């Protein structure tokens, strides 16, 4: 089982495929584990709109694009099954739309916890 959280995809410092030393370290560690049966994904996969900073710290403010970046990361994990928990409203659902629910749906996985 692999437990991941807080990708903050879309933020300048967020995890993203091909994103430098953070990505290199992440993928090296994931690959060293071999086949992963279950990946528990504990929220804040995307950064959100960056309202506190006016979006100045973001590579993209588009939460759909951020969600695609998060999916790319999880596809590299290549787990047999995924289980998701909701992240914080500030990052993933400040306007009532829950982007992590859509990511979980993409992986045909359950999502729980507070919404």
| pLDDT tens digits, one per residue of 72-113 | 999 999 999 999 999 877 666 666 578 899 999 999 999 998
**Chain mean pLDDT for the chain:** 88
Longest distance between any two alpha carbons in the chain, whole Å? 40
Report the chain's C-alpha Rg in angstroms. 13
Residue 115 is predicted with a pLDDT of 57
SS3 assignment for the chain: CEEECCCCECECCCCCCCCCHHHHHHHHHHHHCCCCCEEEEECCCECCCCHHHCCCCECCCCHHHHHHHHHHHHHHHCCCEEEEECCCHHHHCCCCCCHHHHHHHHCCCCEECCC
| pLDDT tens digits, one per residue of 11-22 | 888 999 888 888
């Amino acid at each position: 089982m692999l437990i991941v959280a807080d990708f903050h995809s879309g933020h300048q410092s967020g995890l993203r495929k091909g994103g430098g030393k953070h990505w290199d370290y992440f993928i090296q560690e994931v690959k060293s584990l071999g086949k992963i049966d279950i990946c528990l994904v504990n929220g804040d996969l995307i950064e959100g709109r960056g309202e506190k900073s006016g979006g100045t710290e973001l590579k993209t403010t588009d939460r759909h694009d951020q969600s695609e970046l998060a999916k790319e990361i999880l596809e590299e994990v290549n787990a047999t099954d995924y289980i998701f928990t909701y992240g914080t409203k500030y990052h993933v659902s400040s306007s009532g739309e829950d982007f992590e629910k859509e990511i979980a749906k993409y992986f045909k996985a359950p999502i729980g916890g507070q919404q």
